[in-house]
Structure 1
C-alpha cells in the first residue's frame, strides 16, 4: 500500500532578490503558507518576481529500506531546484504541471530538511527595443520565452502554488494509468505504466459503480507496462445531464491506485461536435481561472463547485480555461457536474528584434522544449477526466509569428500531430485565431475552425452580422494561404471569443479593500500604456462617477453598473441570436465567465456574484432559441409592426406541430398565436412566423416589450423577448416658431424639418437658426456674428474637434464604451441609459473631444470607456464669438428612423428656446 504525508502548511521562506544565496547559506527570516503564490500570501511581494527559497523539515523516525520515496509537487512557478538533506534531488521548469522526484537516496531516519529554490521572471509587455541593433536584456528575453499565460495581463504568480506531499510506495509500483473507453461496445482499456521491479507481476483491475464491483480483469506486467481490457454491461455514459463516474481500482503486488473515469466519446466530424454520438451545440465561456484572494488556485473545491453550478444556471456547457492549465479541483468538479473543459497551453511572448521587417525570430528552442514538456505533463495528469475534450497549443499567435514565419507554422503543425499522438481522444486546436495587425492569424492543422471577434452593440451590430454571415461559409482566410495548411474541410465552426463589458458592483470589493477603500488590484490595468489604458484602470472609479457629472444621469454608481449589465445582456443576446441563424456555426465561447481584475466582461463578477443577466440568460443560452429580427428599435404609434421570427433547434430529436405565441402587457396582455405547425429537426433553423400588429396610439414615448415563445405539448421549448420604442405622432412635430435655414444640400434635412412644422427660409440672413451637417466659411462667419447653429455632424469642424470612433478607444469593441443621454434633454424618446438597441439607428460614429468635468452643464449626451474614463461628448452646446452652437454626433442626418426624427425635433426646440444660452465659451 501507499503512504502519503501532506507537506502543506507553514514553510520557512526567504526572498533572494540578488540571487546571491546558495543551498548552503540561505538565511531564513520569514515563513509562508504552502500552497500559495507568494504574491497572494504576502502583500509586500505582489510586484516581486525573482528568486525565493523554501524550507520544510519533517521527521521520519524509522525509515524502511524496502520502499521508494517520492517528493511530489502539484505545481511550482516557474523553475525550481530541490534538495533533500543537502542532496540535489531534481529540477523542474514549467509553472503549471505536477512533477515528482525520487528522494529515496537522500532521505534518512530522523530529521529531514527539504529545500526548494524557485526562480521566476516577471514579464509584462511585449515591447520591442527602440533600436534594431540594440541588445535585449537577458532577463527580459528569458521572461518573454517562458510560459506565463495571462500573468502578463493581471497578476504574477510565483512559487509553490499547489500542494506538496511525500509518498512512500513499494519497489514494485504503479507509475500511471490511462483509461480508454468505448461507449458503443462498453469496453474499457487500461494502459498501466509500472516500475521495472513490477516486471512479471500480476496486475488486477476492478471497476466499481457506486462502490460495487461491476467488472474486473487481470494480466501480467511485461517490462514496465501492462494493457488490460474489460467489458462493462450496459455502461452508464458520462454526459452533461448525467455525469456518471466509475472508479477503477488498479493493484500491482502491494501497490494500489484508484482513478475515476467516465465512459464517453467526443468527436468533431461533418462540421459538428458529437458527444456519445449525439450532436452537441457548444455554449461556452472563456474562463481566466483567476481568484481575488488566491490568484491562480481556487480557495476550495467547494468554491469551484459553486461557480460551476452558476455556470450551468447560465446555460453554459463548456469552459475554455484560458491559456492556463487548471487546478486539479477544476477538472474534478467538471467531471462531477457535467461540464466540458477546453484547456490550453499557457502562452509566452517572443521578443521581435526586427518588429517592422519580415526577418522575425522563430519560437526559441528553449520555449519549444517547455511547450512540449508542458503538453506531455498536461496529458499525463488529465487523461482520465471525461470532462476534458479539447486542447489548444497557441492562442491568437501569442508567442509565434504565424503570418510571417514558415518555420513557426511548420512547428505548430508538428505540435498538433504530437498532441494527437500523446492523446488521440481529445480534439486539438493549433492556434485559436483572431485578427492581427498583418491580417488574420491563422490555422495550419486543427480539429476546429475557430475564430475570435469583438464588436460593440448596438453600434457595430451590422458589422458583426456581416462577419458572422461570412464566417458561417467556412472562409478560406481562417487558414494559412501559403499552401502549407491541411484543412479536412469539415472542421466545426466556432466563434471562440466574443463579448461585452458590464461593470460590477463595488460592494463586494469592500471585503478586501486596502487603500482608499479599494482592493489592491484596482491599481492594475491592461493594454500596455497609452491613452486607451486609462479605461482599464479601476482605481478612482467612485470619484470619477461624480467628477464626470454622471450623477446627473444615474442616482449612484451602483445604478450605473446595473445599467451597463443590462446593456451587456442585451448585447450578448443579440450576438448569440445572429450566430444561431446559421446552422453551420455549431458553438461559441463568450468572453468571459467571470470578471478578471480590471477586465469587466464576465457573466459573473470577479467575486463570482451573478450580474443582472443571470436570471434571464439561459433563455438565449440554450439548445433551442427563438430569434426575432432586431433591425429596428423605434416605431411610430399606429404603425404596423412586422417582425419575422426564426427558430434554431439543437435539442435532440425533432418536433412537429409546435405553436409559436406572443403576448405583451403594453398591447393588452392577451396571448396571441403566431404560427401553429412548426416542424424542425436537430441542427435546423426554420421560419417561425411573423409578428404582425398595429402599434397602439400612445401619448408619450413608451417601451413595448413582447414575449414570444414556442410551445409543444403544453411545454415551452424556447422563449425570448423583443423590446421596441413606440413614439407618439406628436414627437415628430417641433414647437419652434422661428425662421430656420438648412445648410446641408447633400441631406434630406430640409424635407424632414419641413414635415416637422419648421418655418424654413432659403437665406442665412433671414434665419434665426441654421441646421447644418458641416461648417462652411460663410456659415462660420454667420455664427460668429450672432447666429444659432444646430450642427448635426460626424466630421471635424472649426470649433470642437470631432474624431471618428473607429480605431479609437471610443470604438469600444474590446474595452467597452457606453453612450448616455442626460435625463430630460431628449423628452420625445424613451431613454434607458446606457443606450442600447432602442437607439441602434442613431448611434454616433464620432465623438466630440475637449469635454472636461467643468463643462458638465453644457453636455446633453456623452460617452465614457471602461471604468468611467476618457469622457467625450456626443451632444453639447457652446458659444462661438457672438453666436451659439448646439452640436451633436448622433447619426440624425442619415437616419430617418422615428427615433432620429424625434431627437432632431428635440434639438430644434432646445436651440430655439429663449433659455438656450451655453455656459461654455470657446476662445
Structure 2
C-alpha cells in the first residue's frame, strides 16, 4: 500500500492494430471477455485519459500495472499530440511500475496508450502449429490455463493506477517474523534514505518504531540501497490456519514514500517426513487450482468471490490451495494470509519449448514472482514447474532452484512437481520434498504408494502435488439460460469456441451424443450417481493416503469444473457437488480410518500376499475392522472410539468402545484398537454402515463405511452349473460350490467320450474364454456366463481398455439378472473386488444386447458395458469384463475370497437358469 494511489478504472477504449474504430473495454479485464476473438494474439491497443492531480507537484510519478498479458509498451500522449514511450514489460503474471518522468507533469490532461501482445496460441492441441504472433505460447511462461480453454487471456487483466513517491522509492520490501517474536525487515530502494519502521500488533495496537539508513550497494541492476533490520517483540502471536494472526509494518523513506505490509510470525520446516508449522506437525490438505474462471477468462474474479471460495473450501476441510501454473493477484495472497489458507505456488512452466527467449526470460520472471509471493506467511511451498520432461535440464532448473531457495525464506522448494522419474525429466532432482501425481484406479493405488514410498532415500516430506481426480457427469440442461443460450464453452462454433491449445474439446458435443444414446432425459439421475461416485472415489483414496505415515500431505484435483474436465469441487455454475460435512470427515486434521488383518497364501512353492473382499462377508464370518487415527490436530491426549454397525433404520447389531493404551500425539498415524463382531445371519444381501466416533483429547471426529452381508453358503443349493475354464481362472469356484462340474471342448460339442451331457439338463456354463466350441454350444440354445478378459482371447463382443473408477459412471441398469444383488443404481465398493480395466463395445450388436452394468464416460459420454445379456443364435449369454476372480492390484485372490463378486455371478447363473 503506497502513500498515493489513484486507480484508472475502465471503461477504457480498445482496438486491434489493424483496426481504426475504438470500442469500450473493461480494465481490469481481458479482451476475450469483452467479446473480441479468442485466438488472436494482437497487437492490441488500449487507451484512457486522465488528469494528473496538481498536488503531485514535485513527486515522482509512476503508472502501476497489476499484470498485463503478455508483452506491453506504454505511451503518454499530451494534448499537444506529443507521444512518449515510458517503458516496456514482458511477463503476464507480475506487477510492475513504469515511470512517467518528463512525459507529463501534474495538472496536465494526458492520454495513456498501451500496446499489448499475448502469447500466440496453438491451432489444434499441444503439439500443433503456432498461430501468428511474436511470442509463441510454448516459449512463454503462460502456464496451464491455455490448455484449459484453448488460449492465454490477453490484455490489461489487473488494475492500473497512478502512483507517486518522493525522490527515493521502495523497489522491494519484505517483512517476516519467527515464532519467538523476532521480526526481520529487508528492503531495497533506488536512492539514499533514512527508513522509518513502525510495527503494529494483530489487534492494531502499536509495538515500536525504529530508524535506520539504507546502505549503498552495487548490483547487476545498478546502484541500490538496501536495508536490514531485525529485533524481538514480546507477546508473540503466531500465524497458523487456526489463528491467522497478522502483524502490520509501515515503512517510510524520504518524502512521503510509504509502503505497508502485513506479515505473520511463523516458521515452516521439515523433520524427516513431517512438515512442521511453528514447530508442530501440519498436514497440508490442498485443492488444485488452475486459476480458471470461465466467467472472466482471466484469473481475476475479485476479492469477494475468492473469499467465498476460500471459506467453503475450509468448510470442506481444506487448509490450503496449490496455485498450479499460474500466479494470483495480490488480493488472493492477502486473503490467504487473512483466512489462514496455506499456499503452494507452482511457477508457470508447462510444456515449454526451450528457446533463447525462454532461457533469458524465465529467471527474470521467476525472480519477480518469488519477490512478490514471499511477503506472505501463507506461502509455504514452491515448485518451479509441472510434469517437466527431458527438454528442461539441470542447466535451467539448477539455477532457478538456487535462486528461489535464496529468496523464499523457509518455504520448501522443488524443481518439478510430479517428478522427473514419472514424467521423463531430470532424474537428479533439485528438491526439498518428494512429489508425485497419482491418478489411479482404486485397486491399484496402494501398490503405487508402496512402490514410490521413499524408504531408503533421504528423509524428506512426501506430497502429492496433484492426485485423486474424478470427473463427474454434467447435467447440461442446467446450463441453459432463460433465453435458451448456453455458455460459450458449450458452443460447437469454432469462431466462438476454438480448440486452440487444448488436446480435447468434447463439451460442445455432449448433448447431441446423449440424445442419440437416449440418455438426455436421464441427465439429473446420472449427475446424482456421479456425485456419489465422486465422493466414494475421493474418500477411499484420501483415507488410504492417510494410512501412510510417510505421506506428508496432498493436493486434490481440483477446485472448479473447466471445459476439459469436470473434476471440480464445484460445477461451472459454482454449485458445490459434495456436502461439506461429509467431505470433512475424511479431509481434516483428525480423521478416523479403518484397516484390516493381513493374510498370506502358499502358492506354487512360496508365500504371496492374499487379499479378500474386505467390504463384503457371508453370514457367520468373523469381521475385524482395525480402528486407526490420523492425527494432525493441535492437541495430543488419550484416544477413545465408540463403534457400531447397523442396517438402515435399525438399531446396531454390534457395538463397542475402544480405549487406546497410549496417548495419540500430533503427527501420529496408528491403530487404537480392533472392533470385532460376527457377520449377522441374513436371508438376502443387506448393506450395513459401520460407524466410528473418535476422540483425541478434546478433539472429536466421526466417520462411516458401508459393509455388505450375504447369506451363508449361497451356492450350496445350486445345481446344473458347469465350468468351462481354458484360462484356469475359475477353478476357485469349486471352493464355494463343490457340486459344480468342469467341462471340456468335447462336452460342449457332445462328442464321443464327453464326460458331461450338457443337454440332458438345463446347465448354465460359466466360462473364462470364448471358443468355437462354446459359440456353437450357445447358438444351439445354451446358457452361458462368459467372463471375457480384454487381454485374453477375443470374445463375441469387442472390448476397449479404460479405467473402472476414474472418468466414468457405472450404472446398474434395470435387468432381472441382478436378482437380489445389493446396489443403489450405481457400482460402489461392493464392486471393488471385480473392477476391471476394459469394457464391452456392444454398439455394433445393437438389438442383440441388453445392458446390465453400463459404463458412461463422464468426459465424452461414450457408452460401454461391463456386463450385458447377448442373444446368440438360439441361446443366451451374459458377457462381462468384470474380474469375478479378482487378482488385479489388491483385489481378492480368487472367486472364493471375492464374496460380493461371487454372489453377483450366482445371480447371473440363477437368471440364465430360469430362461428356459
Which range, TM-score by smaller chain? 0.7 to 0.9
Q: What SS is found at the alignment partner of 2:565?
A: coil
Alignment of 1:880-919 (within 5 A): 880-893=872-885, 894-896=894-896, 897-914=898-915
Partner residue, 2:355? 364
Q: CA deviation at 1:588?
A: 1.2
Counterpart CA distance in 2 for 1:847 and 1:786 is 26
Give the match's secondary structure for 2:895.
Answer: coil
Describe how 1:718-733 pairs up with structure 2 within 5 A.
718-729=701-712, 732=715
Matches within 5 A, 1:60-75: 60=52, 62=54, 65-75=57-67
Identify which of 762, 766, 771 aligns with 1:771.
766
What does residue 371 of structure 2 align with? 380
Distance 2:279 2:725 in 1: 66
1:879-912 CA distance string (max 9 Å, x none):
3445443311122244332222222222223333
Question: Following the alignment from structure 1 to structure 2, what is the Cα–Cα distance between the partners of residues 293 and 423?
Answer: 33
Between 94-103 and 517-526, the greater mean CA deviation after superposition: 517-526
Shift of 1:801: 4.3
User: Equivalents in 2 of 1:568, 1:368: separation in Å?
Assistant: 41
Matched pairs, number: 851
Cα shift readout 1:116-161 (whole Å, capped 9, x = no counterpart): 11112333467558xxxxx998859832211111123123311111
Which of these residues, 56, 72, 82, is aligned with residue 80 of structure 1?
A: 72
**The one of 50, 61, 64 aligned to 1:58:** 50
Residues 164 and 136 (structure 1), Cα distance of their counterparts in 2 relative to 1, 3 Å cut:
closer
Query: Take 2:410 and 2:213, find their aligned partners in 1: how far apart are those partners?
Result: 26
Alignment of 1:732-771 (within 5 A): 732=715, 742=724, 744=726, 746-748=728-730, 752=734, 755=737, 763-764=747-748, 765=750, 766-768=757-759, 769-771=764-766
1:855–1:633 distance in 2 versus 1, CA, 3 Å: farther
User: Is the Cα–Cα contact under 8 Å of residues 743 and 770 in structure 1 kept in the other structure?
Assistant: no
For 1:445 and 1:435, locate their aligned partners in 2 and report how far apart those are by CA, in whole Å: 10
State whether structure 2 residue 508 is matched by structure 1 residue 539.
yes
* Superposed counterparts of 1:621-640, under 5 Å: 621-629=587-595, 631-640=613-622
Q: How has the CA–CA distance of structure 1 residues 822 and 395 changed in structure 2, closer, same or farther, with 3 Å as cutoff?
A: same
Computed over aligned residues only, the root mean square deviation of the Cα atoms, in angstroms, reads: 3.2
Aligned to 1:355: none
Offset, 1:696: 2.3
What's the offset of the Cα at 1:111?
Answer: 2.2
Q: Give the secondary-structure state (helix, strand or coil) at the position aligned to 2:527.
A: helix
> CA contact under 8 A between 1:59 and 1:111: conserved in structure 2?
yes
Aligned residue among 617, 626, 630 for 1:644: 626
Q: Which residue of 2 aligns with 1:39?
A: 32
C-alpha separation in 1, matches of 2:630 and 2:158? 44
Which of 451, 472, 475 is residue 453 of structure 2 equivalent to? Answer: 472
Aligned-pair CA distance for 1:790: 2.6
1:586 aligns with 2:552: yes
Residues in 1 aligned to 2:733 and 2:136: alpha-carbon distance in whole angstroms: 67
Secondary structure of the equivalent of 1:711? strand
**What is the CA–CA distance in structure 2 between the aligned matches of 1:7 and 1:506, rounded to whole Å?**
41
2:618 matches 1:618: no
1:771 CA displacement: 3.0
Q: 1:804/1:29 Cα in 2 relative to 1: closer, same or farther (>3 Å)?
A: closer
Corresponding residue for residue 700 of structure 2: 717
> In structure 1, how many angstroms separate the alpha carbons of the residues matched to 2:456 and 2:355?
31
The answer for the alignment partner of 1:338 in structure 2 is: 340
Could you say which residue in structure 2 is the equivalent of 1:520?
489
1:789 aligns with 2:770: no
Alignment partner of 1:602 out of 563, 568, 572: 568
1:833 and 1:415 mapped to 2: Cα distance?
Answer: 52
1:819 CA displacement = 2.4
- Residues 844 and 891 of structure 1 are in contact (CA less than 8 Å); yes or no, is this contact kept in structure 2? yes
TM-score, with structure 1 as normaliser: 0.85
Kindly provide the CA deviation profile for residues 645-698 of structure 1, in whole angstroms up to 9, marking residues without a partner as x: 322222234323634433435573377324223423332222222222122223
- Secondary structure of 2:291's partner? coil
Residues 204-260 of structure 1, C-alpha deviations (whole Å, 9 max, x = no match): 434354332112111223343333334311121111111111121212232222211
Q: What secondary structure is seen at the aligned counterpart in 1 of 2:60?
A: strand
The answer on 1:212 being equivalent to 2:205 is yes
- Residue correspondence of structure 1 range 75-154 to structure 2 within 5 A: 75-85=67-77, 86-108=83-105, 109-124=107-122, 139=133, 142-154=136-148
Conserved 8 A contact 2:158-2:300:
no
Measure how far apart 1:30 and its partner are.
1.2
CA contact (8 A) 1:674 1:690 kept: no
Q: 1:278 aligns with which of 277, 280, 286?
A: 280
Q: Please list every run of 5 or more consecutive structure 1 residues that lacks an aligned counterpart in the other structure.
A: 130-134, 352-362, 403-407, 477-488, 916-923
| Distance in 1 between residues matched to 2:475 and 2:491, nearest whole Å | 11
Q: Distance in 2 between matches of 1:140 and 1:216?
A: 50
Deviation at 1:800, TM superposition (A): 3.6
**Following TM superposition, by how much is the alpha carbon of 1:608 offset from its aligned partner in structure 2, in angstroms?**
3.5
**Structure-2 separation of matches of 1:288 and 1:876:** 40
2:462 is matched with: 493
Q: Deviations over 1:65-115 (max 9, x none)?
A: 511110111111111111111211111111111111011211144321111
Q: 2:667 aligns with which of 683, 699, 705?
A: 683
CA distance in 1 between counterparts of 2:273 and 2:203 reads 37
Q: CA deviation at 1:14?
A: 0.4
CA distance 1:659–1:707, shift in 2 (3 Å) = closer
2:349 aligned counterpart, secondary structure? coil
Q: What is aligned with 1:558?
A: 524
| 1:552-581 Cα shifts (integer Å, max 9, x gaps) | xxx832222222122222222211222222
3-state secondary structure, aligned to 1:39: coil
Q: 1:327 aligns with which of 326, 329, 344?
A: 329
Give, in whole Å, the separation in 1 of the partners of 2:422 and 2:703: 38
Matching residue of 2:391: 401
Measure the CA separation in 1 of the matches of 2:183 and 2:335: 22
Distance 2:210 2:502 in 1: 61
Q: Secondary structure at the match of 1:394?
A: coil
For 2:541 and 2:53, how far apart are their aligned partners in 1? 64
- Of the three residues 824, 827, 838, the one matched with 1:835 is 827
Distance 1:731 1:542, change over 3 A: farther
Cα pair distance change 1:435/1:52, threshold 3 Å: same
Aligned to 2:154: 158
Q: Distance in 2 between matches of 1:712 and 1:226?
A: 47
> Would you say 1:349 and 2:370 are equivalent positions?
no
1:324-349 Cα distance to aligned partner (Å, 9 max, x none)? 01121211111111111011211243
Write the mapping of 1:450-469 to structure 2, written as runs, cut at 5 A.
Answer: 450-457=435-442, 461=443, 463-469=444-450
Q: Say if 1:632 and 1:840, in contact at 8 Å, map to a contact too.
A: no
